[in-house]
Chain A
Amino acid sequence: MATNSLLPLWVLATSLVVAFIIFTIPEERFKLRSFLNLSAAVIKLLLVMIMTWGVFQGVFYETHFEVAPGLEFSLKADPLSIVFAGLSSVLWLLTTVYAIGYLEDSPNRSRFFGFFSFCVASTLGIALAGNLFTFLLFYEMLTLSAYPLVVHRGTQAALRAGRVYLIYTLSGGALLMLGVVMMYLNYGEMPFESGGHFQQVDVAEYPMLGFIFFLLIAGLAVKAALVPLHGWLPSAMVAPAPVSALLHAVAVVKAGVFGIVRVVYDIFGIEFAYMLGVLVPLSILASATIVYGSIRALYQTDLKRRLAFSTVSQVSYITLGITLFGPLGTIGAIVHLVHQGIMKITLFFCAGNYAETLGIHRIDELDGVAKRMPWTSMAFTMGALGMIGLPPLAGFISKWYLGLGALESGMYWVLFVLVMSTLLNAAYFLPILHRIWFRAPHPRWLSSQPVKRVECSWLLLAPPLVTAVLILLLGVFASWPMSPFSWAIFMANQEYGL
């Protein structure tokens, strides 16, 4: 029992402790730092795997203590947190590998990796948070620990992006906090429980609950980059590639969406939220974001900026799925939470590779780059096609279930949004793929043939390849019992009491 109750804490501690140790390591101790980072990532992954197995077997993991009267700090592992924790620990390992390769010979690495670990610890905290208060705690911790990563380059542009990021996220955080305070004040302790807390609540309370819902979602929507609160995300892409990858795929954006999932499913309960009538406005907002993000992405000439707007659009799929009342929509949302992360991280890894190896930042510089970097290009292609949602890749599975969810909930217009978004996604990804594979290569690439056998450092190449393979496998073998898809079904059944 002792280990069971401490396991969530250990999962957090692996990166938190490492963060503090790394801060004290001198800049030059490259090997020691890499070793620490990697071993922490591996240990964390193992712990999360143990926990996954445990949860699958029905073991209950919980750590909690009282912070102040009426306030409880609580970490626990339920299927939903396992989904997010699993995603972050897997992607963290990959991103760590990538970041070690990416930041070779660049300054301030101790600081970077320290905050990097912090960031992941916060993400894991968000995943494992057992109540609204603990969630808020880690949510804000994430806001702060991501800032040094965003401004890591220290250029004027980076600092400006950092400022924008802070203005958005801190304001959002304030709203969220207000919502949480009101929630605690009126309804007491708020542990996350599937089905929510408001099955039997008086109609007179509805306006109040609606207002609290609005506050919570408005706070979370900033990180989830819902229009019109998405402005920080595209500007934050000045960060180094591993950071963008983490930001877009796992940490910040996902934290927001994950929060929305928690609030809708485990605080309000989907059925109550449906009765409250808050789902439809949210789904309209999400749809608007999906379309708007895609349209903006179409007009970007910078590769990472285009990817950033694509994130704005894609992440809202998850929100959209949550708002579709019915198990199928839930499955779609949860699966997309994982799949989008893996696809987007692949794309950012690849964009980073292009930038790092050949200095490519703009899309029109990508002509024929596949001749020079075929493996990276392959991974990029996989990610892009997955994003469009082409079967049988990972992105398709989630899109398919979102579509079914839309039909189930009778919100037929969502289908239109999905199709529109598919077309727009194709419109901004396929031209890139055409450039990469079918245009005549830039003479510069051919003259700079790689010195080594592979096109770029292994540390940079391996992570996107792994995730690219994952995109394929998660799609093709979606029904494998331990796949995210099966988990999502498991969870949806729980949420709807099937």
Chain B
Amino acid sequence: MNSLIVLSITLPLLLALMALFESLRSGLIRSLPWAVLPALCLALLVNENLVISLPYGLTGVLLGIDETRRLFLLLATLLWGVAGVYAIGYLQRDVKQWQFSLFWLLTLSGNLGLILSFDALSFYSFFALMTFAGYGLVVHTGSSEATYAGRIYLIMAMMGEGLLLVGLLAAVYVAGVNPALDQLPLAIANSSSPVLISMMILLGFGIKAGLPILHLWLPLAHPVAPVPASAVLSGVMIKAGLLGWLIFLPLGEMSLTTLGILVVVLGVVAAIGAALIGICQRKAKTVLAYSSISQMGWMTMMVGLMLLEASLAPILIPLVALFALHHGLAKGALFLSVPMNTGRTLSWLWVLLPAFSLMGLPFTSGLLVKTAFKRETIEIVSQHWILAWLPGLLSIAAIGTCLLMFRFLGCLTKHPSADSIHFAQRGSFVLLSLLSGFAFLGLPFLGASVGIELTHEVAFGAVFPLLLASLLFLVGRMLGFNLPNIPPGDLLIPIRSVMSHLYAVSNDFVSARYEVSLQRMTLWLNEKKTRYQDLVAPEVIETAMRKQVVWIFLGLAVSFVAILRF
């Protein structure tokens, strides 16, 4: 078991080493699906919770697996594996495919590693590995958009790293040097400033999880990557932030009312705001990216509720993990579908399956998690009057999700059709699409595990947003309502212009002052120099001394005598 855990993380790294040798590079891409194999075995076959310790690593590495991590690991391995197969087909004509595979493997290792980490340093290390190797995936195409998106991605990622550093430092410090991760929440709860530490952690992981305002990089970076990379970016890697929250925040240990409400509000803003901006997008992948932000908003709300009310944590944590699994598979499948438009009817079925799941229609995993979530909110709403609007907003968010899906399907029809599609691509897409709709088969027993049954009420609640959304869509269509064209990265554009303006102004200011003072200084120096040259040179003094030596001599003698008499 122990070696399986280590192997899960190191196998992708070892495969990545193949890139060092030119002769092995061409075959590298075929290894992508295999790289997740040990981790998949771990997720499926190992039922016990275990932690192993590697004392020489970092400041003492702990790796292990528990229930929450198992769900995340399952998501990661499924999506990475399927997308890996897809990549073999998608990149078959790409000359730089070995480079893509290299970054893919590194990112994969980081992602699996962070899921399996049980100590803060290795979590952070793998998080960083995933983030920075992910840059290689984002800029892979080398287009100017990709480069730009990559830059924004890096800038935001670095800011995240910085915030995270502070948050983790504080968290680890209050728990004693190098604690196991499961002790952290309690230690933070007992520390003197749990709110501050929690806030740092929220913000640090928030960049990855696409919290509002911190999301700016996301709609830029996710769409520009090659399709399989987009799928894992939006499907799994975005969840690393969520996992971070679940692991580090003092969920279930204490209730932080204000912070909780703030996080819930942020989640709502993300869920609705991203949907609003998303339906104004022109490209299928960008719509999907906004949809991811919107869905992450849901998960953020759940985290907020747990912060708000510690007692909710035992119920909501598995639910969030399940939500993540559901969203990851569905979003992955949707991304993979983007270049699959061959005009055949059958392929539409495979696209609709995950889309429906995301909308939360009956018989899907979406219905399961969303219903369960709504049920939990009812209770909390009664306790905090300030959250009374939450159920209503949740419905609006659900409508938004549906509208986003319409928009996506609309964009998809306009997407240029691919001439030929590799069988690996097609096969993997279908597989993932099926997986994402696994609730068709799994609902009875999964539903029972979270206490949800498909009653008429529930079904209606699930279909209602879809109906309303269809109505809105049709009305909008009939009225010929034109959506505003909001460029991807929304707020980034005004922020950038403000920043560049500020920069220009300050630069002008500084350089003007600098120039003036430089000129003054030069003038002053020149003046000094000429004055100095006018002075008698030391050599002249020296000669004069030589001539006056007798006088100096006598003067000295007299002054000596004078001093002695004095």
Touch between chains A and B, by CB atoms below 8 Å: yes
Interface residues of chain A, those whose CB is within 8 Å of chain B, are 328, 385, 390-392, 396-397, 399-400, 403-404, 406-408, 415, 418-420, 422-423, 426-427, 430, 434, 438, 440, 475-480, 485
Q: Nearest Cβ in chain A — how far from B125, in angstroms?
A: 4
Quick one: which of B55, B56, B170 has the most chain A CB within 10 A?
B56
Quick one: which of A420, A478, A480 has the most chain B CB within 10 A?
A478
Query: Which residues of B sit under 8 angstroms from A328, Cβ to Cβ?
Result: 177
Query: Which residues of A sit under 8 angstroms from B6, Cβ to Cβ?
Result: none
Query: 28 A-B Cβ contacts within 8 A?
Result: A385-B132, A390-B161, A391-B58, A391-B121, A391-B128, A392-B58, A392-B122, A396-B125, A397-B59, A400-B169, A403-B166, A403-B169, A418-B165, A422-B158, A422-B162, A430-B154, A430-B158, A434-B147, A475-B58, A478-B57, A478-B58, A479-B55, A479-B56, A479-B57, A479-B59, A479-B60, A480-B56, A485-B59
- In the assembled complex, the Cα of A420 lies from the Cα of B159 at a distance in Å of 9
B555 close to A (CB within 8 Å): no
B139 close to A (CB within 8 Å): yes
A419 touches B165 (CB 8 A): yes
Check A391/B139 contact, CB under 8 A, given A385-B132, A408-B173: no
B333 close to A (CB within 8 Å): no
B124 touches A391 (CB 8 A): yes
Query: Which residues of B sit under 8 angstroms from A477, Cβ to Cβ?
Result: 56-57
- In the assembled complex, the Cα of A235 lies from the Cα of B117 at a distance in Å of 45
Quick one: which of B125, B151, B165 has the most chain A CB within 10 A?
B165
B163 close to A (CB within 8 Å): yes
- In the assembled complex, the Cα of A328 lies from the Cα of B165 at a distance in Å of 16
Given contacts A391-B125, A422-B162, A477-B56, 16 further A-B contacts (CB under 8 A): A328-B177, A390-B128, A392-B128, A392-B129, A397-B59, A403-B166, A403-B169, A407-B173, A415-B166, A419-B162, A422-B158, A422-B161, A426-B154, A426-B158, A426-B161, A479-B56
- In the assembled complex, the Cα of A479 lies from the Cα of B161 at a distance in Å of 23
B147 touches A438 (CB 8 A): yes
Chain A interface main SS type = helix
Q: Nearest Cβ in chain B — how far from A295, in angstroms?
A: 12
Least CB separation from B142: chain A residue: A438
Query: Which residues of A sit under 8 angstroms from B59, Cβ to Cβ?
Result: 397, 400, 478-479, 485
Query: Which residues of B sit under 8 angstroms from A390, Cβ to Cβ?
Result: 128, 132, 161
- In the assembled complex, the Cα of A400 lies from the Cα of B56 at a distance in Å of 17
Least CB separation from B151: chain A residue: A434
Interface residues of chain B, those whose CB is within 8 Å of chain A, are 55-60, 121-122, 124-125, 127-129, 132, 139, 142, 147, 150-151, 154, 158-159, 161-163, 165-166, 169-170, 172-173, 177
Check A479/B58 contact, CB under 8 A, given A328-B177, A422-B158: yes
Q: Nearest Cβ in chain B — how far from A330, in angstroms?
A: 13
- In the assembled complex, the Cα of A477 lies from the Cα of B151 at a distance in Å of 31
Least CB separation from A440: chain B residue: B142
Q: Nearest Cβ in chain B — how far from A384, in angstroms?
A: 11
Query: Which residues of B sit under 8 angstroms from A404, Cβ to Cβ?
Result: 169, 172-173, 177
- In the assembled complex, the Cα of A478 lies from the Cα of B58 at a distance in Å of 5
Chain B interface main SS type = helix
Specify which of A397, A422, A434, A438 is in contact with B58 (CB 8 Å cutoff): A397
- In the assembled complex, the Cα of A350 lies from the Cα of B371 at a distance in Å of 58
Query: Which residues of A sit under 8 angstroms from B127, Cβ to Cβ?
Result: 391
Specify which of B121, B142, B158, B161 is in contact with A400 (CB 8 Å cutoff): B121
Interchain residue pairs A-B with the least CB separation, the first 10: A391-B125, A392-B125, A419-B162, A403-B169, A407-B173, A426-B158, A480-B56, A390-B128, A391-B124, A477-B56
Specify which of B58, B132, B163, B177 is in contact with A419 (CB 8 Å cutoff): B163
Query: Which residues of A sit under 8 angstroms from B142, Cβ to Cβ?
Result: 438, 440
- In the assembled complex, the Cα of A476 lies from the Cα of B57 at a distance in Å of 5
Least CB separation from A422: chain B residue: B162
Quick one: which of A391, A415, A434, A485 has the most chain B CB within 10 A?
A391
Query: Which residues of B sit under 8 angstroms from A427, Cβ to Cβ?
Result: 158
- In the assembled complex, the Cα of A476 lies from the Cα of B166 at a distance in Å of 21
Least CB separation from B170: chain A residue: A407
Query: Which residues of A sit under 8 angstroms from B169, Cβ to Cβ?
Result: 400, 403-404, 406-407, 415
- In the assembled complex, the Cα of A477 lies from the Cα of B60 at a distance in Å of 9
- In the assembled complex, the Cα of A452 lies from the Cα of B124 at a distance in Å of 41
Quick one: which of B129, B163, B166 has the most chain A CB within 10 A?
B166
Least CB separation from B146: chain A residue: A438
- In the assembled complex, the Cα of A335 lies from the Cα of B59 at a distance in Å of 13
Query: Which residues of A sit under 8 angstroms from B147, Cβ to Cβ?
Result: 434, 438
Query: Which residues of B sit under 8 angstroms from A420, Cβ to Cβ?
Result: 162
Least CB separation from B140: chain A residue: A438
- In the assembled complex, the Cα of A475 lies from the Cα of B128 at a distance in Å of 14
Least CB separation from B123: chain A residue: A391
B150 touches A434 (CB 8 A): yes
Query: Which residues of A sit under 8 angstroms from B166, Cβ to Cβ?
Result: 403, 415, 419
Query: Which residues of B sit under 8 angstroms from A385, Cβ to Cβ?
Result: 132
Q: Nearest Cβ in chain A — how far from B263, in angstroms?
A: 22
Query: Which residues of B sit under 8 angstroms from A479, Cβ to Cβ?
Result: 55-60
Q: Nearest Cβ in chain B — how far from A220, in angstroms?
A: 29
- In the assembled complex, the Cα of A419 lies from the Cα of B127 at a distance in Å of 17
Query: Which residues of B sit under 8 angstroms from A478, Cβ to Cβ?
Result: 57-59
Least CB separation from B200: chain A residue: A415
Q: Nearest Cβ in chain A — how far from B221, in angstroms?
A: 14
Least CB separation from A476: chain B residue: B57
Query: Which residues of A sit under 8 angstroms from B128, Cβ to Cβ?
Result: 390-392
Least CB separation from A477: chain B residue: B56
Q: Nearest Cβ in chain B — how far from A393, in angstroms?
A: 9
Q: Nearest Cβ in chain A — how far from B401, in angstroms?
A: 35
Query: Which residues of A sit under 8 angstroms from B58, Cβ to Cβ?
Result: 391-392, 397, 475-476, 478-479
Q: Nearest Cβ in chain A — how far from B545, in angstroms?
A: 29
- In the assembled complex, the Cα of A438 lies from the Cα of B128 at a distance in Å of 20
Q: Nearest Cβ in chain A — how far from B378, in angstroms?
A: 41
- In the assembled complex, the Cα of A46 lies from the Cα of B372 at a distance in Å of 67
Q: Nearest Cβ in chain B — how far from A470, in angstroms?
A: 15
Q: Nearest Cβ in chain A — how far from B95, in angstroms?
A: 12
A423 touches B158 (CB 8 A): yes
